[in-house]
Amino acid sequence: MFNNYGQSYQEQRMQQLMEQKQMKDFMRMYSNLVGRCFDDCVSDFTSNKLSEKELSCTNRCTLKNMKLNERVGQRFAEETMPGENPPSLPPNFDTASFPKLQNDLYLRAARGEKTERAPVWCMRQAGRYLPEFRAIRVEHDFFRVCRTPELATEVTIQPLRRYAGLLDAAIIFSDILVVPQAMGMQVEMVPGKGPHFPDPLRDPHDVSRLVDLEEGFSVDKELDYVYKAITNTRHTLQGQVPLLGFAGAPWTLMAYMIEGGGSKTFALAKTWLFKHPEAARQLLSRIADVVAVYLVGQVRAGAQALQLFESWAGELGPADFAQFSLPYLSRIAAFVKQKAPHVPLTVFAKGAHYALEQLALSPFDVISLDWTIDPREARRRVDEACAGLSKKVVLQGNLDPTLLFGSPDVIRKRTEEMCRAFGSAHIANLGHGMMPTHDPEHLRVFLESVHAASKTS
């Protein structure tokens, strides 16, 4: 049942478009599936060089021979061939009981227990590098996918289906910017550009537009669609692997809310820190309160572990990180640990190597590393910081994502080196997320290499 769920969406929709002779929509979905330029696919049609009947026949033949298309790959081609469509599972939002977990490798490792090999998963393992994800995005806006539990579930399990038996965790498909949305800000996902805030916070007076302090505001109500996606995904996974929830950290979210999107300098956000420090602290505090409640809500909904993303940590120097990031990370972690002490909690403060010791002494169980630090050095520093304490901090990471653009031999070699550098106790991951232009089969090489290189006797 798990392996069949969600395949029917693409198959049924493409078959429906074919039968209805809606060839533009069919080719838009097909071009995403095969990674082919849409304009090339439809140029003959739009110039009236082919009739709809001729085009239908052409694409039927193309679809039947999809397994020959090297850009799709054998595995995905077979999954997307037309044929008998298995029934989709109805959504299940029952939080009273969940299927028994079959693979607890990630959870054991996150608790610091000895494991037979390193568990492995990848940040952004569900996303634009997968043709099956792009097929869904043809018909659905990014945030509509996030807000529709059935679609979020389908996207979450796509990598589990493609890499059957190789991933040790799923992470719910959502976005860190659902929190600013919940607080009353408009966020758009612009193709080719990324997140865009049409009306960002330009000065402290603009904070009055946020709704989180208004009477009747409820984090759980505003973000219930994420909770439903988590619950539905837990049932759909049928215990295959644990499901991770996540959120963005206050400084990173504040930077987006002020800059209006990504930035090379973060000059606007940093102006707040240095020109309006008290207003900055108040905003960071409000974001932290929302994030803390949100993460606990994810646990209630079925998340079995959590990760907090401080993606722009490296844009702060040590003193500013200690003042405008670390206190809010620790505050969130303490709240979550009080409400859900059994749930492993990971922090990913990208670029903040200078703060390893402080992070090790915070309530987080796992520290995720980017690719710019040697795992041996990180392990030494973390162990020294925790010397004499009963706490055991687990490390996660940290292959440079761009290595997946290399040859399979290079990926294998560098993955083996990474596993040796971490030693016996770690969670394997990339040093940041998957990229849209990554070859899905190169991720498979990475996953298989972790399995082979990290086995313990």
List active site positions.
124, 128, 137, 175, 256
Beta-strand ranges (E) seen in 165-216 are 170-171, 188-190, 194-196
Tokens of 170: 């799923």
Q: Report how far apart, in Å, the C-alpha atoms of 177 and of each of 4, 99, 123, 186 are.
A: 31, 30, 16, 10
Helix, strand, or coil (residue 231): helix
- Cis ω for the linkage preceding 69 (within 30 of 0): no
Torsion of CA 194, 198, 201, 202, to 10 degrees: 100
H or E, element range at 11: helix 7-19
Helix, strand, or coil (residue 307): strand
Checking DSSP bridges between strand 427-430 and strand 394-399, what pairing results, if any? parallel
CA 214 to chain CA mean position, Å = 30
**Cβ neighbours, 10 Å, residue 374:** 13
CA angle 320, 321, 324 (to 5 degrees): 75
Query: Nearest-CA neighbor of 21 among 51, 64, 66?
Result: 51
- Using CA atoms, how far apart are residues 32 and 437, in angstroms rounded to an integer? 13
